[in-house]
Every structure is written in structure tokens, then in C-alpha cells.
Structure 1
Amino acid sequence: MSTARASDRLFALLQRCLPTRLLSLCMYRLTRVRWKPFKNLFIRVFMRGFGIRLDEAIETEPDAFVDFNAFFTRALQPSARPLAPAPALLSPVDGTLSQFGPLQAGRLMQAKGHDYDAASLLADAADAARFTGGDFATIYLAPYNYHRIHMPLSGRLSGWRYIPGRLFSVNASTARAMPRLFARNERLVAFFDSDQGAFAMVLVGALFVGGIETVWTGAVTPPHHRGPPGDLQRPTTPLALQRGDEMGRFNMGSTVILLTTPGLVQWSHTLQGAQTLRMGESLGQAR
């Protein structure tokens, strides 16, 4: 049974009526305004509202960022996120672990009372079949989190697919109330091969997420497209990324879903839902 409250259902209903693409495009433009009085005030109000400090960042002066997006996607000092020793499977982001566990019959848990199938999430049944019997972890990035996305394992990029979709919020309230939320929203799926097995990183867009980027394509969105899923793209030259390397970023916050093939990971016995994670922490052992 779903745990959605009346307020959750009302919020989900409201989002269905909102021009979410237009709102997200407006946010994209606002976050790139370079007029100093505006962007400095925007940054300082945001920092105050979410209790953000810059002591871990490379740039520690709020007014030094060229625009709000540069502040939001700020780089951290190398020592700020130490990596758990190999063979740990690393958390790819700072965030909250909303769900994790096995892909039972190829389905992922979204929230109590809601699950969805990997084929819908990846927009391809054959790709999803590779992960049947494997595992998944869903990590939500709140506005106050660090918003660069890193590699959980060393891997070689085998392909990626952009999937147009809606731009609903991905917070816990919407996840409780809206079925198949992550399979509805715009997303980018990146597939990697590693020495331990294959894994996929799903970067889910959301309301006010002004853009998704990867290190090999640059900006993927905007524009926010409509229509069927894109074809699987393959790298023209080999691309290998080491565990802990940056692989992408969100311009505003969202969710990352990690999928692994059967037997790749043994989850840590201390891991639990709603746990706060930092990039580089161990999720379990890669085998």
C-alpha cells in the first residue's frame, strides 16, 4: 500500500498542471545571469536558506562565482571526498539513499507501494535484460548537496541514450504519490563495462533542473525535447574513467540511479534507506 499523504497527492496533481519545461527553462536562464548584484544576492540567499558553507569548495568566496550555476556546480577540494579503498563500490554522489536492493523480476522499488520496470527506465528491453537479477541504488540530490556525479567503479563507456520525458519533482513527496516517476522524467542513461561487470548510471532530470551534462558530450539538456527515446550512442574513441572521476553533473538537483549486473555488488550490512551519503563512501563490495 502506498504511503502517500493527501498533501503528496495534491502536490503531484499540481505538477501535472504546471508548464514544467517552461519553468525549468526560466530557471536555467536565471542561474546564468552574470549581473553581479543579482547573482551575488541569489547565491547568498540560497546559501542562507539551505545552510550551505563553502569551506570544502575550491572557491570559498561567494561573490567570486561568475553566476549561480557556477556556484551550484562548484568543485570541491580533492581532500573533501576521500574514496573508500577498492574493491568498494563508491557512492557516485552526495545525497540521500532513497531505495536500494535487488532488481526483483527486473523491477525497481520507487517508494512503498510503487515499483517500476527497468525496461521502462532504460527505454530498451534488451538493455534491461542485462541487469535482471542484479541490483540498484537510487540516490536523491537535494538543493544543498554537491552536484557533480562521479564514477562508482573504474569503467569503459560503452554507450549512452537520451530519453525525453516530463520534468516532475523527484523529491520524496512526489515519489510517494506518482507511479513510475523516474521512468516518466527526462533522463540520460550511460552504460559502462568494468572488470567486475557492467553497470549503468541513470541521470534523472526534474523540475527546475536546468541541465544535465556529461564529461564526454558536454551539455545534454536543455533544450528539453519531446518524442521517442533517442538511439543508443556509442563513443567514437574509447573512453575509460577511473573510480572517483567526474562523469557528469546536474545544473540544479535531481536523482541518480545506479544499476549493476548480477553478482557485481554485495551491499554493506550497514546500508539503509534514507541514509545520508557522501560521494566516495562505500555502498558495498564490488566482486
Structure 2
Amino acid sequence: MTVKGLIAAFTGQENINFLLTNRIPRAAVTRFMGWFSKVENPLARDVSIACWRLFSDLDLSEAKKTEFKSLHDCFTRELKPGLRPCDPDPAIVASPSDAIVGAHGAIRDGELYQIKGAPYSLIDLVGDRALVEKHSNGRFVTLRLTSSMYHRFHAPYDAHISRVSFIHGDVWNVNPIALKRIERLFCKNERAVIEMQLASGEALTLVPVAAILVASIRLHFLDRVLNAQSRGPAVFPCDVRVGKGEELGWFEHGSTIIVLAPEGFEFCDGLAEGARIRAGQPLLRKP
């Protein structure tokens, strides 16, 4: 068996995986990685990226750069131009990121689910009853970014961003193993709630959820990083217009984006749990 095969077999054991990624001082490890990932030392960079390749399916052939200053620089890499074209159909709401499709379905009685049989409350996720009302009987899609994926996310449609709320929290891993074991996990982790309105009036909300290790969310239009060290206001009124496919920001580690749509929106053909999707590909269809 190859080294990668041995590592996969070892870490694939659910109990071991959960212990290694959750039963550790999560906040302290996350702060350390936030510092270490930005160290601009060639040896630290090269060893870190080599280990990352060993433990994942990291592919840097699409990256705009061929050399990186640090591990962080590699995590937050841009892609070569034209590699994530956005579906031009005006009826299509595009995926904001590269991801693996997770739980998705109808929002019923204010509840969603992180896996089948594990519901959580929309009010606990977004913290705003008016926003919950906008998505009553709507649809939700969970998009999970793995550590090796492209970490930048984009506007799923032409829209006006009216507010961003940052909710402090924990930094649990958000992989399927943790989702099976930690109830209401998305409601416990750090997250941002990005409120958008389409030109036709419908509400569309993105909830980027941070996870263990770097656990930071960068939004271009706020020109700031949101994380556990963030101080000051937690609610940011905005007046920003974005075009479909425009880059909104990035995660500094793999995590999750929950997309919330109002009643009447439907899933695009072929959307299935476990399927891989790329930024710009069809996700939802407007009524």
C-alpha cells in the first residue's frame, strides 16, 4: 500500500478522524495555524505544501501563480483567468464556490438539516427573524469546501448586498464525521451572514461558516478579515452592488457555505448530495 493509502486508511477511521480534528484545543491550534500559515520562509512553505499534498488531492495546475510566498498564499490562491465561467442564463443562480454538495432541500417550519435526521433552526443560524421570514418555505443548499479546493467564493447572481452580520463561535471541523456527531454544528461555529437582494426583489443569503485551523473569512467589500480576533461591530450595513460571478472574498481554510433562497426557487437538474460542483455552475433556478 502507498503512503497515501496508509494515511487514508488511518484517518478514514471515524473515531480517529474525529479525535484528531476536534478533541484538541481547537481555538489555540487555529490561532497557531493562522500565524504559521503566513510565515514567509521557503523551507516552512515547501514542507507545509508537501505535507498538504500527501494528505489530500491538492492540484495547483489551475493556480494563477506558480510560486507562493507562504502556505496562506497557496490556500487563498487565485485561478488562471477564465477557468470558472458563470452560467449566463438569467434564470440560473450559480454556485458561489467549488464544493461538494451536502444536505439540501426545503426549509420547513424554520428548520434545515445538516445531515438526514439532524435538523437545526434557521433562526439559530442567522440570528434574525426578519431574515428567517424571507426564506420561509424556501430552499437551502450546503456546499462543503475541502482543504485542497479553490477557496475563493463569488456572487451567485447580480445582486445588492445590504448587510453582513458576523457571529462569533467555535471552530469545529465541518466534515461529514463531525456533522454526524455534533448537533447544530453550523449554529455553533463562527460564520458570516451575507444578505443579498436580487433586482427582481427576492432575498438570497450566503452563510460562510468557518472551521478549525485558520478559520477566517475575508470579504473584499468590507476590506477586513472576520475571525475570532475581530473587534468592534458585528453587523455591517452595506450598499454594494455585485455582478454574477464577481469575487466576494475567500476562506483561509476549507469550510462550508450555506445558500438560502426564498420560496419558488428550485434545484437545478443533477444536483445531488456528494456531487462535486464548481463556482459558476448551475445551482438553483429562479421562478
Structure 2 length normalisation: TM-score? 0.88
Q: Give the equivalent residue in structure 2 for 1:207.
A: 212
CA deviations over 1:56-106 (Å, ceiling 9, x no partner): 1211x2xx2111111111111122112222221111111101111110111
What amino acid maps onto 1:126 in structure 2?
A
- Asked whether the 8 Å contact 2:139–2:266 carries over to 1, the reply is no
Q: Is 1:110 matched up with 2:114?
A: yes
Partner residue, 1:3 = none
Report SS of the residue matched to 2:30: helix
Q: Evaluate the alpha carbon distance shift between residue 53 and residue 13 of structure 1 in structure 2; reply closer, same or farther with a 3 A threshold.
A: closer
Cα RMSD (Å) = 2.2
Partner of 1:278: 278
Paired with 2:270 and 2:233, the residues of 1 have a C-alpha distance of 38
CA distance in 1, matches of 2:146, 2:162: 29
Alignment of 1:134-283 (within 5 A): 134-196=138-200, 197-224=202-229, 231-235=234-238, 238-263=239-264, 265-283=265-283
Which segment is superposed worse, 123-132 or 272-281? 123-132
What is the deviation of 1:20? Answer: 1.1
Identify the residue that residue 78 of structure 2 maps to in structure 1: 75
Seen in structure 2, the aligned counterparts of structure 1 residues 171 and 77 have a Cα distance that, compared at 3 Å, is same
Distance 2:260 2:252 in 1: 23
**For the Cα contact (< 8 Å) 2:204–2:259, is it kept in 1?**
yes
Deviates further, 44-53 or 184-193: 44-53
Q: Provide the rounded CA distance (Å) in 2 between the counterparts of 1:132 and 1:12.
A: 34
* Pair 1:141–1:245, CA change in 2 (3 A): same
Of 145-154 and 78-87, deviating more is 78-87
TM-score by length of 1: 0.88
Aligned residues of 1:189 and 1:202 also touching (Cα < 8 A): yes
Task: Give 3-state SS (helix, strand or coil) of 2:237's partner.
Answer: coil
Supply the distance in 2 between the matched residues of 1:177 and 1:9 (Cα, whole angstroms).
10
Counterpart for residue 5 of structure 2: none
Structure 1 gaps, min length 5:
1-6
Identity of aligned residues (%): 27
Q: Which amino acid aligns with 2:50?
A: R
Q: Structure 1 segments of 4 or more deviating over 6 A?
A: 13-16
Q: Kindly tell me: are residues 255 and 279 of structure 1, through their superposed partners in 2, closer, same or farther at Cα, counting changes over 3 Å?
A: same
Assess, with a 3 A threshold, how the Cα gap between structure 1 residues 138 and 65 changes in structure 2: closer, same or farther: same
Distance change (3 Å), C-alpha of 1:222 and 1:270? closer
AA partner of residue 233 (structure 1): F
Shift of the 179–210 alpha-carbon distance from structure 1 to 2, 3 Å rule, reads closer
Matched residue type, 1:219: R
Q: How many residues align?
A: 273
Instruction: Name the SS for the 1:44 alignment partner.
Output: helix
In structure 2, give the amino acid aligned to 1:252: H
- Tell me which residue corresponds to 2:46: 40
Q: Pick which of 41-50 and 134-143 moved more.
A: 41-50
How many angstroms apart in 1 are the aligned matches of 2:185 and 2:262? Answer: 23
Q: Which amino acid aligns with 1:131?
A: H
Q: Distance in 1 between matches of 2:28 and 2:36?
A: 12
Q: Quote the Cα distance in structure 2 between the aligned partners of 1:116 and 1:280.
A: 28
Write out per-residue CA displacement over residues 94-120 of structure 1, whole angstroms, 9 at most, x where no aligned residue: 110111111011111111220111100
Q: Structure 2, unaligned stretches of length 5 or more? A: 1-12
Query: Alignment partner for residue 89 of structure 1, among 71, 89, 93?
Result: 93
